[in-house]
Structure 1
Amino acid sequence: MYKTKLNKYSAVELDSMEQKLQISLSLIRGVRNLLQPVNKLPPELLTLIFHQTQQHLPDFLPLPEPSPSSWHWLTLLQVCRQWRGLIASSPQLWSELDSGTLPERFLRRSSTVPLKVYLSLKLHDLSEDILESIASQSRRFRELHLDADSWQSSITTSSTIFHQFKFPAPTLASLTLLTDGRDIVNGTLPHMFSGEMPRLKKLCLKHLTSWPSGYFQGLTHVCLYDQNESTRPTMDEFLDFLVNSPFLEELALVRAGPTRIDVGAESHSSPPRIVSLLHLRQLDIGEWPSAPLVARFLSHIHLTTNTDMYFWGEHMLNTAHPDSEIAGSLALLLPEDISRLENMKHIRKWYLARQPRVILDTPFVSVTRTMKGEGRTLYMYGTFSASQLLPTQLLSRYPVLEVECLAVRDSCMDTTNANNLDVGFWREILQGLPNLQKLEILAFRSIGFTRAIIGALMPQSNTVEPQSSLLCSRLTSLTIEHDVSLPAFFIRTIAEARARCIPPAARLENLRVLVFEPNPQIVRRRRRLRSLSPSEAESSTGNNSESDGSEDPGLENEAQTKEEEEYRMHTEDDRRLLEECVEILGDVQFQYGVPLSVGLVPDAWPTIAYDFTRRRRGAA
């Protein structure tokens, strides 16, 4: 019966009915989709949400991810018809164009909005046709980031990828040009954009050392790296470049800059030429041939208190200079006259850390603002030898008289002789810090190092000395990393000797010991013991019945291991010994679970310039 009724319809009629049914189902799905809460948002707001799903790189030194995951936002096109139509008709969503991800579609759908163009910087896939299409839109360029050597030319050798950009770029604000020297003669950049880049403010160049006259003036951000060594600028040539950008805010010179010495260009009898960089916020100098070249450059510039400086590099900081009186010293980084380096004034904190290369493989020195903007902080980090840290030289170049906090870290040394940083060394250093109030000794498993620094605080005679002659007479806070090698009795002896030389009001107010946790699983138990008195703690450890019922029995068993017992006994003995002289040591605190050696590097380290130039070299 049912089959009979269907047979009365022809094939054409059935096709028509099926088509109407599909249209009806589509309309129903569309209406249901419109009823979803997210689709009740105004299209403008939904577009802004889509924009936030995209990966947006900084306009200066963009660091792309190694995978194409940044383009996963394109899957939004598959959600529904409404989203697909909204995305396709929103030019701003297509304004970041990458040569390896649908460049033609992005170019078409971006309409007339300004473009951010990445050519072979993220993905290496660039054809000549699409390059020509992109280059023809240079009037819309807001940013151009180009890895020139990734482009495979199929036309005559007289033409390069640089020559493709022949039209003006009136709105271009940021330009990145990377090359290892292919198609480049004598490090000179070929003509681009007819020389018309009136709004260019941010520039990054690899290998290139010179460019046509009139290019690159009024810049605010500059990064030059891996420059051709034979054609690097002289000091005068580079200072001319800086003069043309008086509002420079960031300057990074990595294996680049005025490292070529022109003997006839500078006269030692005349005053040095000085260029003021009054707006510079950050200066990065990396991997120059030697530290004296850095000092030579610094002697020609004037910096304000707002400039943070970062110097790094193996040869620059670790190479010995036998012809110098201060061979290999970190003092070589600074010129003798630092009066024009206003950012070196008011150093209140000094962090000196010697770490093995497995932790951080690049030595660096930096001077930065503190978190609260009060004074400056000096950082020295690397596998420095004793000859590089000669106290007389460091104290003569680095203005540390106002230092109130000194933190020292050593984890790459021979603990038997403190790697030549003995008591005499630290006595010389501390003599140059008359305003020191806080001392942090972060030397886990380096008892020789800890003893050397603490020993330097011992009064020079057994008789009562006037406070003015006592080393670091303003010292009120001492922090020490602790393991089983904590020299607690030695600390107490030094404190008692100093107490005889100064009035009670000037003695230590706080002794803070950071206790190393041999096993993270016993943190909870150790904290519980810390809350008890010593007698209660001993009773609790020897009686499992008094344990907190919420603790896992496995932790109780772990607490009985030989390592745990050793640490517990030493820690409790040390704490009791030090707490007995509270009138001398003040408040004694043993702190558990505190990360060791926190704050030894600036918050901004490694800098963006360090990361960018290292990654673009293919370093691990």
Structure 2
Amino acid sequence: MSALDTMIVPRAALLETLSAVQDTVSHLIGDLTEAEIVDIEGYMGRIGRHLMCSRNVLVPINKLPEEILSYIFHFNQPAYPDFAPSWPSGPRSRSWIEVSYVCKHWRSVAVSLPCLWSLVDLRQKGFDAHKLEAFVRRSKAAPLTVFYENSVSDHPVSRALQDVVARDMDRIRHMHIKGNLRSLVANFSQPAPCLRSLSLWHRGADDALGHADPAPALFNGRAPLLRKITISACALWHAYRITSLTHLALFHVEVRRLDDGFVDMLAGCQQLEMLAIISPRPLPATELEPQQQQQQQQHTSRIIVFPCLRHLHVVGVSHVSPIPWLRLFLAHFDVFEHCEFQLEFHAWSPRSALPLESVLSIFPPASQFRPLKRIDTVQLWTSYRTRPRIAIHSRTLFILAYLNDFPLGRPEEHMLFDPDARAVIINDTQDAFPSLWRTLLSPTARFKTLDVFEENQNTVEPFEALRPGPGAEGVPCPELQTVNWTSGSAREDPIFELMAVANDRARRGSPLRELSIWSNGSGDGRRTVEFDALGAPMGYFNTDSSTQQWIDEAIQGLIDATTAKHPDGSQW
């Protein structure tokens, strides 16, 4: 070691010493050897790094106590829902640990913080067994969240995962796996005392897990905290006995797998709070009718009471003969009024073969499917830009129809209505759909109020849905008393046509009591006509209001109400 390596210059003489060194080097220009130049550059580099460390110490955040830094690092860590999570993607999925590369102080704090290392993402390229061990070691006793996705080329990582599961299964709180589950089924028989949620996305043959009779309990029945499971493309319930769930999501499962074995699993999960079936796979057309007949014969008529079920979602249903299997599926459910139901179909095109039966015929009786016991509002939205769907919650039936193509049926045949029930129709297209409107406002409908919101009112056809037919035909919606009609723009003033409809209804013994019109085309704001008990006009009022705001709010409210979401508010 040279004298320069050990000499300590007094702090007061530091700048004077550096100035002397600078003068000496300047004086020796042309006389220094290459080796001497390299040595001096090395010292200059080390001095620069020491100065950078000194400057970092002066940065305000580096003056924070370690406890505060720990909180900051912790909140920089990404949060993933424990139920049906969106998977970490790209290089940012482990970006929060980059704080350990900033400086020595930050690294010491980060390495000592177990929660930073508790999210183990085995899908990342270059994440080998050595890094896995480092994560597990630094996580100390913190509960682990494991993301794993296997492929043909990552057998070492797969073995590393199995080692972690075998050694640290008692610390794994959330486990999310994508791949061929056949190679991992051995892990499902180990005790998992800390496990709270499990996601299994199978890639491979549909029956890879096989059938077991009797089926062993999942994790040998020793996962007492496991309440949330997500399953994709396999029928896990055929291979393992699953009980005590509060949340269950099924992705890409063949509808024929929703058999009595599935019903058996549901019977063991009567505390279920959320059940979601996303993109169920229909049967091939060649198997459709024979398989449905067989299912109808084999399905038990067992009805299971779900007192805690709050969310029942069926999303991404094919339009290929969905009604029979949906009817069989829902026939097993006895749910209470607080349950929110949502059904969404794939987008229908004009060439789609629409179901021949009413979509509403899928429901069990209202005495069994209690959200149907008291409906006080029906909202129908016709649009170019939506997938067909229905939703029931908050005593409201929401219907989203792609143009006029929706086999609605008559709601009053499938549910019970409040005496003062209200119908809301929203049309944000350039066209009118009188046939769908007439179905909703049939002579057997019992609505007291009708609210209509149209983006553009270009035809009088919608008014015809309220006009009595000739002869002995019944009056549409005979108990209707109030009509509120809002149009963003109109070619002609609709008040004259609506007054003619009101007169026709009065002559047939079904008079209106109030008619209100908002129309930008008229320039008159809101106009209201009141009628007496016989339907004769008795008052006219005119007030200012914004029609476009009413339309926008109505449409946005309907979108929000019918979009299937996780309990945390994120969409499926």
Q: TM-score range by the shorter chain?
A: 0.7 to 0.9
Q: Is 1:456 the equivalent of 2:456?
A: no
> Residue 57 and residue 486 in structure 1: after superposition, are their counterparts in 2 closer, same or farther (change >3 A)?
farther
2:487 matched residue in structure 1: 480
* CA drift at 1:188: 4.3
* 1:50-89 matched pairs, under 5 angstroms: 50-64=73-87, 66-89=89-112
- Residue 131 of structure 1 deviates from its aligned partner by 2.8
Alpha-carbon distance, 1:241 to partner? 1.5
Match of 1:245 among 264, 269, 276: 269
Q: Does residue 1:400 correspond to 2:417, yes or no?
A: yes
- Aligned 8 A contact 1:441 1:480 in 2: yes
Cα separation, 2, equivalents of 1:449 and 1:74:
63
Deviation sequence 1:95-150 (CA, Å, 0-9, x none):
1111133452433322221111111299x96733433343333222111111114x
Tell me, yes or no, if structure 1 residue 352 matches structure 2 residue 384.
no
| Bigger shift: residues 597-606 or 18-27 | 18-27
Task: Give the TM-score of the pair, scaled to structure 1.
Answer: 0.68
Structure 1 position 218, deviation (Å): 0.7
Out of 396, 418, 437, the residue aligned to residue 377 of structure 1 is: 396
In 2, distance between residues paired with 1:450 and 1:176? 49
Map residues 198-237 of structure 1 onto 2, 5 A cutoff: 198-211=224-237, 215-228=241-254, 232-235=257-260, 237=261
Opposite residue 160 of structure 1, the aligned amino acid is S
2:518 to 502, 512, 516: 512
Q: Which residue in the other structure is 1:170 paired with?
A: 193
Matched with 2:177 is: 146
Give % identity.
Answer: 21
Indicate the residue corresponding to 2:59 in structure 1. 36
Question: Number of aligned pairs?
Answer: 508
Q: CA RMSD in A?
A: 4.7
Tell whether 2:426 aligns with 1:409. yes
Contact 1:299 1:338 in 2 (8 A): no
What SS is found at the alignment partner of 1:348?
A: strand
Measure how far apart 1:345 and its partner are: 2.9
| Distance change in 2, residues 1:480/1:112 (3 Å) | same
**Which residue type is aligned with residue 24 of structure 2?**
Y
- Return the offset for 1:91: 1.3
Q: Say whether the 8 Å CA contact 1:195–1:214 is kept in structure 2.
A: no
Task: Say if 1:410 and 1:479 are closer, same or farther in 2 by CA, change over 3 A.
Answer: closer
- The answer to which structure has the higher strand fraction is 2
Deviation (angstroms), 1:330:
2.2
One-letter amino acid of the structure 1 residue matched with residue 401 of structure 2 = G
In the alignment, structure 2 segments of 5+ residues that lack a partner are: 1-22, 283-290, 531-538
1:249 shift after superposition? 0.5
3-state secondary structure, aligned to 1:598:
helix
AA aligned opposite 2:229? L
1:364 aligns to what?
Answer: 389
CA contact (8 A) 2:455 2:551 kept: no
Query: CA offsets, 1:213-259, max 9 Å, x none?
Result: 763211110112333455x2434x33321221121110123427997
Partners of 1:21 and 1:320 in 2: how far apart?
Answer: 79
Distance 2:406 2:32 in 1: 101
Matching residue of 1:526:
none
Q: Report 1:105-124 matches (<5 A).
A: 105-120=134-149
1:473–1:209: structure 2 CA closer, same or farther, 3 Å change rule?
A: closer
Check if 1:584 corresponds to 2:532.
no
One-letter identity of the residue aligned with 2:446: L
Is the contact between residue 443 and residue 449 of structure 1 (CA under 8 Å) also seen in structure 2? no
Cα distance between partner residues in 2 of 1:590 and 1:460: 40
Equivalent-residue separation in structure 2 for 1:470 and 1:238 (angstroms): 42
Aligned equivalents of 2:322, 2:26: Cα separation in 1: 97
Give me the whole-angstrom Cα distance separating, in 1, the residues matched to 2:33 and 2:431.
97
Secondary structure of the structure 1 residue equivalent to 2:174: strand
Separation (CA, whole Å) in 2 of partners of 1:119 and 1:439: 51
Quickly say closer, same or farther: Cα 1:440–1:33, change in 2 above 3 A: same
Task: Report the counterpart of residue 420 of structure 1 in structure 2.
Answer: 435
Q: TM-score, normalised by structure 2?
A: 0.73
- Asked whether the 8 Å contact 1:353–1:380 carries over to 2, the reply is yes
Change (3 A) 1:111 1:601: same
Q: Secondary structure at the match of 1:73?
A: helix
Is 2:237–2:262's contact at 8 Å kept on the other side of the alignment?
no
> How far apart are the structure 2 equivalents of 1:229 and 1:427?
34
Deviates more, 1:211-220 or 1:11-20: 11-20
Query: Equivalent of 1:132, from 162, 172, 181?
Result: 162
Check the 8 A contact 1:175/1:203 in 2, yes or no: yes
- If asked which structure has higher relative contact order (CA below 8 Å, sep 6+), I would say 1
Per the TM alignment, residue 578 of structure 1 is displaced from its structure 2 partner at its CA by 7.0
Task: Output aligned runs, 1:491-506, within 5 Å.
Answer: 491-494=498-501
What is the aligned partner in structure 2 of residue 339 from structure 1? 367
Partners of 2:258 and 2:441 in 1: CA distance:
43
Decide whether the 8 Å contact of 2:375 with 2:417 is kept in 1.
yes
The change in CA–CA distance for 1:207 and 1:88 in structure 2 (over 3 A counts) is same
Residues of 2 paired with 1:580 and 1:97: CA distance? Answer: 64
